Chains A and B, each alone.
Chain A
């Protein structure tokens, strides 16, 4: 059973905290290090939310600039990475709102779908099914599949399963409750599984041909 750990003391602080301290003291090169460390993640999250490359480029710049400006507000009690992700998610949603003026963009909205709640496609997948596709084909399949998820499911899946945030960090980042994150994560995983089955399921072999020789 895990014991409750005190908040990391001076001697065990996360390396990012030291970098943040250096930036605050005026060392811009330390910020360069932080940007290089997390730019791919920020770009990826922005792409997943905006689903538009140009928007993702803008979001990446805006998110890092905003984080730089607001660095004084960063409190060492959360990870710099999750703090940055939160800024990136907000910037991405703002970008979406601008693009779709008048249309509400929210990750809080109730998602009224039962799709994927109960697995329907129960065919097993081929072993290493991704090997039946080229890298480019596979990337296209994965993009298309995840883009079809409702926004609120997609963000939860991306933060939790792709970017490796904990359930609690995902909840905090998205201003959702932990049970809401859990429920969306389960449905996101099941819906993705169901949709990928179309491509990855074991091909049926006609009975008479099923036995070699």
Chain B
């Protein structure tokens, strides 16, 4: 397997949607290719960081204000 072939399957590997056979081939490539191993681990980390950090916080006061506005309009039948 080449690095290009590995890269084409990177998402499927990350999302755990590869067959056991393909997974074995990918693992075999990883063992001999530091570049692809770094790409895999840092891409995984990228996703994890974006998932676990709130970058657009909705502060409680704003949340309540928006919420009150929505519900007031809904109660009037919009």
Q: Which A4-28 residues have a C-beta within 8 angstroms of B? A: 28
User: Which residue of A39, A125, A139, A146 is within 8 Å of B63 (Cβ)?
Assistant: A39
CB-based contact B67/A36 at 8 Å: yes
CB-based contact A138/B53 at 8 Å: yes
Known: A35-B71, A61-B70, A69-B78. A143 touches B43 (CB 8 A): no
Q: Which B1-58 residues have a C-beta within 8 angstroms of A? A: 7, 10-11, 14, 35, 38-39, 41-43, 45-47, 49-51, 53-56, 58
Secondary structure call for the B interface: helix
Number of A interface residues, CB 8 Å? 45
Minimal beta-carbon separation of B61 from chain A (angstroms)? 12
Known: A60-B66, A124-B41. A192 touches B46 (CB 8 A): yes
Chain B residues within 8 Å of A32, by CB: 67, 71
CB-based contact A65/B49 at 8 Å: no
Range class of the B interface residue count = 20 to 34
Q: Which A46-73 residues have a C-beta within 8 angstroms of B? A: 47-48, 56-57, 60-61, 64-65, 68-69
CB-based contact B69/A61 at 8 Å: yes
Minimal beta-carbon separation of B74 from chain A (angstroms)? 5
Footprint of A on B, CB under 8 Å?
7, 10-11, 14, 35, 38-39, 41-43, 45-47, 49-51, 53-56, 58, 62-63, 66-67, 69-71, 73-75, 78
Q: Given contacts A124-B41, A142-B50, A142-B55, could you give 19 more A-B pairs where the C-beta distance is less than 8 Å?
A: A47-B56, A48-B56, A56-B56, A57-B62, A61-B66, A64-B70, A68-B74, A119-B35, A129-B45, A146-B50, A157-B50, A162-B51, A189-B11, A189-B46, A189-B47, A190-B10, A190-B43, A196-B49, A197-B42
Footprint of B on A, CB under 8 Å?
28, 31-32, 35-36, 39-40, 43-44, 47-48, 56-57, 60-61, 64-65, 68-69, 118-119, 122-125, 129-130, 138-139, 142-143, 146, 157, 161-162, 182, 185-186, 189-190, 192-193, 196-197, 200
